[in-house]
Chains A and B, each alone.
Chain A
Amino acid sequence: DVKVTQSSRYLVKRTGEKVFLECVQDMDHENMFWYRQDPGLGLRLIYFSYDVKMKEKGDIPEGYSVSREKKERFSLILESASTNQTSMYLCASSLPLQVLYGYTFGSGTRLTVV
């Protein structure tokens, strides 16, 4: 069964810390995505990547960066965590042009910044 794995289910970090959220997929997918999910706001796209070392900004990239050094791994980086980045973070992947078939999602990382 195909899988997208997010390294942490729950994470608590302090304001100002640099935070790494890791996502690994075992499906050889080219496309990977990071969303944040907030009540009443649904899912909002932070960054996505179509290939290794490629990245594009989504709708809310401010305060975040990403890294894709290997095809299977896509990392989300909070350069200096702030309390307004407390949220659920969801990683997803898909094949090229597979928007036709939807994404495969990880189980999410719930991040609390104190």
Chain B
Amino acid sequence: AQSVTQPDIHITVSEGASLELRCNYSYGATPYLFWYVQSPGQGLQLLLKYFSGDTLVQGIKGFEAEFKRSQSSFNLRKPSVHWSDAAEYFCAVGGGGGGNKLTFGTGTQLKVEL
């Protein structure tokens, strides 16, 4: 069965500092990996996705993520965080074995200090 672990429940960074949110997955074949962001009171918005090709993927709002098969990881990064990035971030995995279903991690709440 596919699964996702986000080991950090809360992270606090200062505005302008760099950010890395961790995501580890378990999947039997090549996974399809996603990062979503949820602003307070809102649904989830897709930040970026990976399913093949270049292991470094670029997304919206200046985010990027790197797929590392050897570490079963798909960490999200941003070089300089803005106060508006404060939100909850979810990593998700899907693929052929799971059909059309995505399995989500438990989320990481990001707080940005001004």
Residues of chain A whose beta carbon lies under 8 Å from any beta carbon of chain B: 4, 9, 31, 33, 35, 40-45, 48, 50, 58, 90, 92, 94, 96-103, 105-108
Contacts and interface: CB of A to CB of B under 8 A. Distances in A.
Interface string B24-55: 00000000101010000111111001010000
Interface residues of B, number: 27
Interface string B78-114: 0000000000001010110011111111110000000
A97 B32 CA distance: 12
Given A102-B34, A107-B42, A45 B49 contact: no
A58 B104 CA distance: 13
A40 B106 contact: yes
Interface of B: 6, 9, 32, 34, 36, 41-46, 49, 51, 90, 92, 94-95, 98-107
Given A41-B106, A108-B43, A58 B32 contact: no
Contacts of B95: 99
B45 A105 contact: yes
A98 B34 CA distance: 12
A44 B104 CA distance: 7
B104 A50 contact: no
